[in-house]
Structure 1
C-alpha cells in the first residue's frame, strides 16, 4: 500500500530549508541527483528541460547535466533570461544544447522536465513560461515535474489551463499541500518524495497525501 505522508505549506518548507542553506548543505545537488535518477528510469531517447529562474530551474539543469553525461541528447529551453548560471554551465559542459522557443519541436522528445516555477510562485504562468507550456500541451512525451507542476499553486492546488500534467512529480523535502488539493491530484501524477534532510513536525501539517515512493536524496 502506498504510504500516506503529511503535507506542508510553501512557507513551512522554506523555513525548514533556511538553516540548512545557511549551513551550506547542498540541497540543490541532492534534489538534482534524485531527479536525474527518476528521469533515467524512463530510458529516454531525447529530453527537453524547461528551466526557469528559480531553484527548480537549477534542480532541472543540474539533472540535465547528469542525463547528458550519460549520453542522452538533452535540449534546454530557458523560460527566463535569468537562470541558475552554474547549473546551466554544468549542463552545457556535459553536452546539453540550448534552444529557443521558435526552434521547439514538441514531437521530438519522449521526456519533458518541467522546472519552470517553484513553490515561491503564485498565479498562472506568464510570459515565456506560458508560451512554452502552451506549445507543449499536446505533446505525447512523459512529463516529469520538478517539485510541483509549474502553474499549480503550492498551497491551494489552484491552476488554470496552461499547466503540463505530469506523469510523475518529484518533490523534495516534503509534499506541498497543493499537490493534494484542488487540481493537484489531477496534474501531479505519481508523487515521488525525496528526503533532502528537512526537519518538519507532522503536528504542523496542513493535510495528508499519498505518495507512490519515498527516496533518499
Structure 2
C-alpha cells in the first residue's frame, strides 16, 4: 500500500480538474455505494435506514452531499448536519432536491441524534486541513458530542477521518475524532491513514480509483508498506 501526501494528491488532481473531469461525481458515487453496502451488511434496508451526514465546508463536504443525494433518492432518510457556515452550495442543492433534509438545533441534541442513527458519514475535513488538523468551533463540538455518546452507529469517513493529519497520521485531539469503521479514500491512499496513531481511527480502508493513477505513479510516495 502506497501512502501519498495531501499536496501530491492535489497535484495529481490538478490536470484532471483543469480538463473539467467530474472527479467529485466519481468520488461521491463510490461513497454512496459504500454507504449502501454498509447498511445492507448491518441488515438495515435502505427504506428503513437513517443516515446522518456531517457536512464541512470543503470538497469533502461536497463529496458527502452528492452521496447524500444518491442515498436519499434510494429511499434512505438522510439528515444533513452543517458544521460550517460555508458549504458546497451545488452539492447542498442537489442533496435537498434528492430528498435529504438539514437538521439544526443545540449541539448536544445533534450529537445524540447522529449517534442514534444507522450510519454517520464524516465529511467535515479532508486533505485541505491545516498543519494543526484538530477540529474547531461547531464541528469540534458536534464530533466530541457524538464520540461521548456513540454506541452502535457505524461511521464512514470521507477520504480521511476528520481531525487526523493526512500526511503524518498525528491525532492532536482524540476526543474529537470519530473512529471510522470504513474510510473511503479517493485517488491515492493518504499517508496518514497508514501511520499511527491515525491508523487506529481509519477502520477498513477502501481506495477508490478516480483517474489519478498515471500522475501518482510518477511521484514517490511518502510511505510504502508491504503486505
Paired with 1:143 and 1:209, the residues of 2 have a C-alpha distance of 25
Output aligned runs, 1:79-118, within 5 Å.
79-102=83-106, 103-104=109-110, 105-118=113-126
Q: Which runs of 4+ in 1 moved over 6 A?
A: none
> CA separation of 1:120/1:112 partners in 2, compared to 1, >3 Å: closer, same or farther?
same
Q: Is the 8 A contact 1:6 1:202 kept in 2?
A: no
The alpha-carbon distance between structure 1 residues 74 and 181, as it changes in their structure 2 partners (threshold 3 A), is: same
Once the two structures are superposed, residues 150-204 of structure 1 have per-residue CA deviations (whole angstroms, 9 ceiling, x without a partner) of 0010001011221000000000000001001122210000000000001212661
1:48 aligns with: 52
Match of 1:186 in 2: 200
SS in 2 for 1:24: coil
Match for 2:22 among 13, 23, 26? 26
Q: Is the 8 A contact 2:161 2:201 kept in 1?
A: yes
Between the two proteins, the alignment pairs up a number of residues equal to 207
* The structure with more helix, counted as a fraction of residues: 2
Greater alpha carbon shift after TM alignment, 67-76 vs 131-140: 131-140
Q: Larger strand proportion, structure 1 or 2?
A: 1
**Alignment RMSD (CA, Å):** 1.5
8 Å CA contact 1:51–1:116 kept in 2: the answer is yes
Match of 1:215 in 2: none
- TM-score of the aligned structures, taking structure 1 as reference length: 0.91
Residue correspondence of structure 1 range 1-217 to structure 2 within 5 A: 5-43=1-39, 44=44, 45-102=49-106, 103-104=109-110, 105-122=113-130, 123=132, 124-137=134-147, 138-139=149-150, 140-159=152-171, 160-161=173-174, 162-198=176-212, 199-201=215-217, 204-209=220-225
Please, which runs of 5 or more residues in structure 1 have no aligned partner?
A: 212-217
